[in-house]
Amino acid sequence: MPARPRLFSFVAPRRTASPGPPSPTFSEVTNASAFNFGSNGPAKIITRTDLRSSLHAYDDVMAASAAYRSALLAMSKATAAFADSMERCSGLKGPAYEAGSRLQAAAGVHHLIGNLWHVLAETLDKNFEKPLRQHLDTYKTIVNERSTSYERALRERSRIIRQTEMRNMNRKERNLQSFREALTVLQRQVDELDELKAAHYQEILEHEEEVWNVVQNKVCDAHLMCSPRLHCLGLYRRSLDHGRV
């Protein structure tokens, strides 16, 4: 009597339950730093912690800009008050004509300086803070929506893989061909999950680069608009230093 062909079983030997995920790929809670997508993956992995740091830094920039603008407005008011005080002194009977004229000229220069502080504050508000506040709100919305969508897709893909594993493990016996087919299906599902993760982190990287390009462009724009006014401020100060007011 010929020997019966050997049958392959999907039933795994009993062993102590492992705390790790049952899937042969990363689970949805795997630390992103553990990923290695190879040469075709993103150049660097930006994790949730990195995104929180990025959002916090952006918030800090906006808060610092608002504080800077408030300081410029305060300087404008203080400079105007200083100019007014010198102008009042120039109109007194005590100062000689030359002293009175110079006090009045100095008051005029400081009125101009005060106006410059005010213009700088307005430039910062209109050309930097307002557009970036809206950009920051959009940035936060995109990060939250993308994370929610990714986690939903990740859970669904992981659930399908676990179902495939359990279905194959619960079958009593399989021949070699069926075993190979089941492994092929499982490997395809694992590859699709890894592709989802790689695409997600690539999208994050590209978006982060885009976000910070916008920020640095606004910084440069504000700097270019402020530079001529700051140059004029330097000229006024040099005129005061040399007594040509």
User: Domain with 83 in it: what CATH number?
Assistant: 1.20.1270.60
DSSP conformational letter for 174: B
Going by pLDDT thresholds of 50, 70 and 90, the confidence category of residue 83 is very high
What pLDDT score does 24 carry? 43
Residues recorded for the chain? 245
Give percent of the chain above pLDDT 70. 71
- Assign 3-state DSSP to the chain and report helix, strand, coil percentages, each to 5: 75, 0, 25
For residue 26, tell me if it sits in a domain: no
Going by pLDDT thresholds of 50, 70 and 90, the confidence category of residue 235 is low
For residue 158, tell me if it sits in a domain: yes
Contact between residue 23 and residue 161 where contact means Cβ atoms under 8 Å apart: yes
For residue 33, tell me if it sits in a domain: no
Going by pLDDT thresholds of 50, 70 and 90, the confidence category of residue 236 is low
Segment 178-197, tens digit of pLDDT: 777 778 888 888 888 888 99
The CA distance from 199 to 212, in Å, is: 20
Tell me the mean pLDDT in the region 117-123. Answer: 91
Segment 167-179, tens digit of pLDDT: 777 666 666 677 7
Contacts of 182 (CB under 8 A, 6+ apart): 10, 164, 168, 174
Contact between residue 150 and residue 112 where contact means Cβ atoms under 8 Å apart: no
Give percent of the chain above pLDDT 90. 49
> Domain limits at 162?
46-241
For residue 11, tell me if it sits in a domain: no
What pLDDT score does 22 carry? 43
Instruction: Look at the chain and report how many structural domains it folds into.
Output: 1
Going by pLDDT thresholds of 50, 70 and 90, the confidence category of residue 10 is very low
Q: What is the pTM of this model?
A: 0.71
If you average pLDDT over each of 39-43, 55-59, 167-171, which comes out highest? Answer: 55-59
For residue 21, tell me if it sits in a domain: no
For residue 151, tell me if it sits in a domain: yes
Mean pLDDT, the chain, whole residue set: 80
- Report the C-alpha dihedral over residues 109, 114, 120, 126, rounded to 10 degrees: -130
Segment 124-145, tens digit of pLDDT: 999 999 999 999 999 999 999 9
For residue 34, tell me if it sits in a domain: no
Bridge partner residues of 174 (DSSP): 8
For residue 31, tell me if it sits in a domain: no
